[in-house]
Every structure is written in C-alpha cells, then in structure tokens.
Amino acid sequence: MSDDLSELAAAAQAGSHEALDGLVRTVQRPIYNLALRMLQRPADAEDATQEILIKLVTHLAQFRGESAFSTWMYRVASNHLLNQRRRDADARRVSFDALAERLAEGLASQEDGPDEVYEQAELIEETRRSCTLGMLQCLDPDERLAVILADILEVSGAEGAAITGLSPAAYRKRLSRARQALVAFVADHCGIVNPASPCRCHKLARARREAGLLGPDRLQYEQPLGEAGGRELGQAHRADLPADERAVALLRAHPTYIARADLAARIERIVTAGRLGTQHPPTA
C-alpha cells in the first residue's frame, strides 16, 4: 500500500483533485482503526479521524517523501491523538484494577454453567470487542500507541520508532513495558486466554443485557470488513503458545472497522468551503 499512497500523494501535491480524493478515501480506514483503538468510542474516533484527515490535506505539501507516506500519516495521526485528545482520554482512563472490579461485578450476578452460546451471538462478540478495547485504555496513551502500532497494526520496530519519535531502543523498552502489563492482566482475567479464569464473554454479555447496557440495537462494533479475525482468536486459545502471543492474538481478533460516517465526503465539503485550520504536523 505504501507505494500506492506515495503515488497518490505525489499526484495530489501536483494538483490532482482526483488523487487527493483517492488518498483521503484510502487512508481514512487505517486512521480510523488507529483512533478507535486509542479512544475506544466510535463517535470520538470519527471526530478524531476527521481532524487528522484535515491536517493531512492541509499540510500535504510538507510531506517530502523522505519516509514512506504511511509513516508520515501515522505520525501525524499519533501526534494528534496524543496531544490534542490526551486530556479527554486521560479523564476517562481506568486502571487495570478498576477494570478487573467491573468485570467481577458483572460476573457476580451470573451463575456458573457451561459455555453455552448466548441466544444472540452478536452480543457476545460485541462484549469481547468492547472488553479488549477497554484493556487498551488501561495503558497510558504512549504505551497504548506502542502496542497498537506493533501488535495490532503490525508496523516494524524501525517504523514504530519513527512514528513515535523515539530511538529504536526507547521504543522497544516502551513496548515491552506495555506488553508486560497487558499480558499480566489477560493471564489473570481473560477466560479466552486462560481457561482457569472465571471471566466468560457470554456471562458478561448476559449481565450487560440484563442491566440494560447492551442490546441488538445498541451495538458499537458491529461493522466488520471481511473476516472478523477468527484465526487470531483461535490462536488466543492455544495453551501451547506463550502468554504474550496469546494476549496479542486476543487484541488482533477484531475486524477492520468502518466508520459509520462518510468521512471522505465530510473532508471534501470542508476543503471546498475553505474552513481549514493552520496546524503544522511534522515533515518527513
């Protein structure tokens, strides 16, 4: 994809409206998926994605081709998510201990029983996706970003360091620290990764349904593109794999999400109306 993006970017810089439109429509999906994992709430992720796309469009001339376009794109997006939205995200951030308490409260109302399929499987899937996205929110934003880049978006270590502006050694250290915290929580609390854990998605789904927090008309993460990550979720069950690999597989077991709003059309209207900001993302 990097070569295609670089070609689109070059054509857009040369004045092609068609190339600019194609570039925005191509990059909005990976940016939205990064924002969703950083912010958890789809509405917040859509707003952030729109803001990031505006930055990319308005400062496209600053991309000099010294790195892959995807690296520059993710760096602009990451800086925005860390800086512009850090205060709101920190205000909503919960600790791993607090998340564990919430899970325990939900499970307390449910009797033990076989892992039966809940009458509405999409509610179980919604619960799993919400829970694993919630785990990411327990990390501080910088550590969360490192995990998302490396273990979910699967960018290389060198690219991750370039995106975060860290040395390779500092990036590896940050990623290792974040992974350790996630693996410890998952190993103790997730029944998918650890069969000895009492937490089960179908029990949580039932508890949330009974509490009025979940229903077929209240799904936030129901828009998959292609496969929903079943292979990776299968890997999370494998007792022969190290705990860190099973935890990563759990995080990857999500679809590629699609924003409900047509963000590209929004950006085109904003560009046409001339209501553009003047913030300056990094050059690369």
| Domains of the chain, first to last | 2-88+261-273 (1.10.1740.10), 94-252 (1.10.10.10)
Which two tokens mark 217? Answer: 């008309």
Question: What's the token pair of residue 247?
Answer: 């935890």
Check if the beta carbon of residue 59 is closer than 8 Å to that of residue 77: no
pLDDT for the residue numbered 281: 53
- What tokens were used for 128? 């799993």
pLDDT of residue 279: 45
pLDDT at 35: 96
Please enumerate in sequence order all residues whose Cβ is within 8 A of that of 14, keeping only pairs 6 or more positions apart, or say none: none
Contacts of 161 (CB under 8 A, 6+ apart): 167, 168, 170, 171
What does the DSSP 8-state code read for residue 270? H
Which mean pLDDT values do the consecutive 10-residue runs of the chain (284 residues) have? 82 89 90 95 92 91 90 96 73 82 82 58 90 94 96 95 97 97 92 87 88 88 57 79 89 87 74 52 56
